[in-house]
Amino acid sequence: MTSTPDRNSLTAECGSATDPAVPALALRSITKSFGDFIALDDVDFDLRQGEVHSLLGENGAGKSSLMNVAAGLYAADRGTIEVAGRPAAIRGPSDAQALHIGMVHQHYKLVMPFTAVENILLANPSGGFEQSLQHTRQLISEKADLVGFDVDLDKPVGALSIAEQQRVEILKVLVAGANIIILDEPTAVLTDEEGQRLLEAIRKLASSGCCVALVTHKLHESLTHSDRITVMRNGKVVETVLPDRVTAPDLTTMIVGETLVENRHQTTVSGKQRLAVRGINAARADGLATLNDLSFDVRSGEIYGIAGVGGNGQSELVEVLMGLLSPSGGDIQLDGQGDITGTRADERRRFGVACIPADRQGFALAGDLSVSDNFSIGGVLSGKFGSWARLDRKSMARETRSAVEKYDVQGVRSDAQRSALLSGGNAQKLVIAREFSGSPTVVIAHSPNRGLDVRASAAVHGHLLSARDQGAAVVLISEDLDEILLLADRIGVMNSGTIVAEFGAPADRHAIGKAMVGHG
Amino acid sequence: MEFLVNWLANIPGFALPFALGALGLIICEKSGVLNLGAEGFLLIGAMAGAGAVLTFGGYPLLALAMAALASALLSLVFAVLVILLRVNQVISGLTIVFLAQGLTSLIALKQGWTNKAFTGLSSLDLGPLSDIPFIGPIVFSQDLIVYLTVGLFFLAVHLMGRTNAGLRLRAVGENPDAADAAGINVTAYRFVAVLIGALLLGLAGGYLTVVVSKIWVDGLTGGRGWIAIALVIFARWRIWRALGGAVLFGCIEALIPRVAAIGVQVPQYFVLMTPYVVTFAVMVWTSLSSNTASDEPGALGRPFVREERH
């Protein structure tokens, strides 16, 4: 412990004391394993004062583990940490805080019913309650001005948007006096525009003398918004490079170890109309109208992409399409079945409608049940694995094994393994394996690449494309515009609960972006 | 008029065990520990209070302190189970109730405390104040614990809402992971909350014997602990609403003997059933009026495990 905590000083600006030649934070030969799994293997990483340093890699490459070592959440098995050139022992988050290291995690550590001030006060107590409430409020507004944040301090944090909650988290570490700031996948949950604003704020932080470690798997933002890029793969550092000396394909090669470029796949073949959605109106359980006169149609053999900023009714649209939410007006026509508006979810599944929901662990899988149970549940309902009185576990296991192989679901040690143990990408592949096992005629996919790395999302996209090529009508609802542009044959833009514009592929990115944010 | 004064003057005595019990439960549950053992803590307190008066030959205030301590002692068992060993909180709470039922009967029998009447704590006589018509008997002729309880409610509201400790306690019950990340010792806060909650429940139990019945019989608390649990749900974990609910139940309980006294024929078992029917109605009403803001702790009943990889 060489540095003294100085969190309440109003004048403490970022990195005032360090010599620019010495790295503000240096991790040397860090090794960390969990059981047999080696998460970090002799990793070196350093952060200089005033820089934004991206840490790039696939899910499970060890980026977050490395940063958790710096933040005191994981104890390294071997290796040393230096802060401003002096050896530092970080035994827990409080040691890290005393060394002015602050980390914003992917999952926010906020108490939702509390206001921003209360949340920040909780982590940074200073004397009596009433005075510290005032004091904290003052500190927050100073830090917020520094980075250009605008946050409502008196609303419960739970009522704020994800982007605002993230700002509260960042302000929390700044108020705590951090000048070494670690952001774990900060843009993963933000829209393009919000992400851009965050990256600008990060730049402001760095120019005020802080150093920022930006953990990400987005090539684009590390190329345009960082001073140095360190690429990790399989728990090792591949290389540290300067962004103006590399290209995106170079980085992709470093990340996955081989060249992996997804090309646009389009089809000119389109069959007859398979799904028609006409004038749907719907309201959420709390009465808020979310879908307003929404119409679109999808032909067989095409991917219809629905782009839009999150929270414009996408989740409700998925629920309406799957029969989980009944619309207050409008109807859904399915080729060969007629009007299916009033049918239940299980009936729609029998008609050949498959769904890949956005929240896979919440809606698509039962985490505590086995891989085999999760895969077979659809077939069990349709009586494929025996009558109600008998369950043919043998054929369930057999079909699961072949599906796991066919869809390349990795990390399945046995078909009795709990599905919660699968990583995001493999869980998604399992969902797809199940949903596609009945050869669906309509596929509804909501943000299918959310939280997935390059390789896994390429695999998921491949499955969607092959479903299309086999004649399914695919509805792809995604907040990731790149995903839409890559896959969709036609694009509808969703805004305030309705489709405000439609584009044929190849579409103009800027025109779509305009339609996404327009209309008030 | 006489009926009214008599009724109103008796309400605080009936309402107090509910009020103290509900307050204890709220403090405990605000830390995220679901306490279904309320009935058990009341029983232990009630028996310990009676036992202490009989043993020391008086000293009712000391006896009430013993009641609170006995309950706190039992709560240590509960706290170790649910906080350290992370046993299911529902099952642990129920276990405490049954443990206390057996334990109190056994100890009271062995010590010969059962069915022995004693002089407990009597009401205060504040001289001229108590003689004021109407107001005197209602406001100035209560026992010491009634006034103490009113003070405790003000104190609890202040501690919960306007202090750092209260803020942390609520954070622990709302999102223990966030509290832990903020450097708060979740385990310690939960332990202290369970202990304070049990002290108040024990005091409520002691009040039932030392002040109200002035005698111990097996199962004396008669399900008041369960009513206190229902009250907390009714109050949506808000302290002042819990006091309001307790007074409402006090009104009903105080009314029953008085209605019988003026000669209205009511079947005995219907009378005994009334508080539970009201509890039932209140809970149905609570769940139907879903627009009322709830302060239910987000992590209620969920044990805290520090996040580790897989």
pLDDT digits (tens, 9 = 90+) for A383-417: 788 877 888 888 888 989 998 888 888 878 787 88
Q: Tell me: do A279 and A233 sit in the same domain.
A: no
| Phi, psi of A177, deg, nearest 5 | 90, 20
Residue A45 to residue B65: CA distance in whole angstroms: 60
pLDDT of residue A367: 83
* pLDDT above 60: residue A8: no
- Comparing alpha-carbon positions, the chain A residue that sits nearest to B159 is A129
Q: Tell me: do A88 and A165 sit in the same domain.
A: yes
The Cα of A116 is separated from the nearest Cα of chain B by a number of Å equal to 13
* pLDDT above 90: residue A150: no
Q: Is B190 at the interface with chain A, CB within 8 A?
A: no
Cα A91 to Cα A68, A72, A86, B218: the distances in Å are: 11, 6, 16, 53
The Cα of B163 is separated from the nearest Cα of chain A by a number of Å equal to 5
- Lowest mean pLDDT, pick from A27-36, B20-29, B223-232: A27-36
CATH number of the domain bearing residue A504: 3.40.50.300
Q: Tell me: do A299 and A213 sit in the same domain.
A: no
For the segment A335-356, the average pLDDT, to the nearest whole number, is 88
Collect all residues of chain A within an 8 Å Cβ-Cβ radius of residue B168.
122
Tell me if B300 is assigned to some domain: no
Dump pLDDT digits (tens) for B178-233.
898 888 899 999 999 999 999 999 999 999 999 999 999 999 998 899 999 988 98
Q: Encoding tokens for residue B9?
A: 């003057």
B183: left (phi over 0), alpha (psi -120 to 50) or beta: left
pLDDT of residue B310: 34
Tell me if B127 is assigned to some domain: yes
Q: Tell me: do A247 and A115 sit in the same domain.
A: yes
Which of B162, B171, B295 lies at the smallest CB-CB distance from A122? B171
For the segment B44-61, the average pLDDT, to the nearest whole number, is 94
Q: Is B294 at the interface with chain A, CB within 8 A?
A: no
pLDDT band at A518 (very low <50, low <70, confident <90, very high): low
Tell me if A160 is assigned to some domain: yes
Asked which of A256, A284, A300 is the last residue of a domain, the reply is A256
Q: Tell me: do A249 and A292 sit in the same domain.
A: no
Residue B218 is part of which domain span? 2-225
Q: Tell me: do A173 and A240 sit in the same domain.
A: yes
Q: Tell me: do A134 and A52 sit in the same domain.
A: yes
The end-to-end CA distance of chain B, in Å, is 69
Asked which of A212, A231, A256 is the last residue of a domain, the reply is A256
Nearest to A261 by CA among A270, A272, A253: A253
Q: How many domains does chain B have?
A: 1
Tell me if B81 is assigned to some domain: yes
pLDDT band at B246 (very low <50, low <70, confident <90, very high): very high
Q: Rounded to two decimals, what is the model's pTM? A: 0.75
Query: Would the CB atoms of B170 and A111 count as touching at under 8 Å?
Result: yes
ipTM of the complex: 0.85
Q: Which is more confident, A1 or A200?
A: A200
Query: Would the CB atoms of A122 and B177 count as touching at under 8 Å?
Result: no
What is the three-class DSSP state of B293?
Answer: coil
For the segment A448-469, the average pLDDT, to the nearest whole number, is 85
pLDDT of residue A4: 41
Asked which of A256, A285, A303 is the last residue of a domain, the reply is A256
Nearest to A102 by CA among A30, A199, A24, A218: A24
Residue A158 is part of which domain span? 25-256
- Lowest mean pLDDT, pick from A151-165, A170-184, B29-43: A151-165
Residue A223 to residue A218: CA distance in whole angstroms: 9
pLDDT of residue B257: 79
* pLDDT above 90: residue A200: yes
Nearest to A180 by CA among A434, A373, A3, A397: A3
Which of B162, B179, B298 lies at the smallest CB-CB distance from A129? B162
The Cα of B171 is separated from the nearest Cα of chain A by a number of Å equal to 6
Q: How many domains does chain A have?
A: 2
Tell me if A407 is assigned to some domain: no
Q: Tell me: do A125 and A205 sit in the same domain.
A: yes
Which of A94, A110, A129 lies at the smallest CB-CB distance from B164? A129
Which string of DSSP letters, residue by residue, matches B79-135? HIIIIIS---HHHHHHHHHHHHHHHHHHHHHHHT-BT-----------THHHHSTTH
Residue A299 to residue A272: CA distance in whole angstroms: 5
Residue B135 to residue A179: CA distance in whole angstroms: 64
pLDDT of residue B309: 39
Tell me if A7 is assigned to some domain: no
- Lowest mean pLDDT, pick from A4-18, A207-221, A283-297, B246-260: A4-18
* pLDDT above 50: residue A7: no
Cα B143 to Cα A53, B9, B62, B149: the distances in Å are: 69, 11, 15, 10
Query: Would the CB atoms of A113 and B298 count as touching at under 8 Å?
Result: yes
Tell me if A127 is assigned to some domain: yes
Tell me if A365 is assigned to some domain: no
Residue B197 to residue B98: CA distance in whole angstroms: 19
Residue B65 to residue B265: CA distance in whole angstroms: 40
Q: Which is more confident, A288 or A518?
A: A288
Dump pLDDT digits (tens) for A61-109.
888 889 999 998 888 999 999 999 999 999 888 889 899 999 998 888 8
Collect all residues of chain B within an 8 Å Cβ-Cβ radius of residue A130.
162
Tell me if B281 is assigned to some domain: no
Q: Tell me: do A111 and A46 sit in the same domain.
A: yes
Average pLDDT, chain A: 85
* pLDDT above 70: residue A13: no
Q: Tell me: do A43 and A139 sit in the same domain.
A: yes
Q: Tell me: do A346 and A486 sit in the same domain.
A: yes
Residue type for position A167: R
Tell me if B23 is assigned to some domain: yes
* pLDDT above 50: residue A11: no
Q: Tell me: do A249 and A289 sit in the same domain.
A: no
Collect all residues of chain B within an 8 Å Cβ-Cβ radius of residue A411.
none
Nearest to A69 by CA among A109, A110, A101: A101
Dump pLDDT digits (tens) for B159-174.
999 999 999 999 999 9
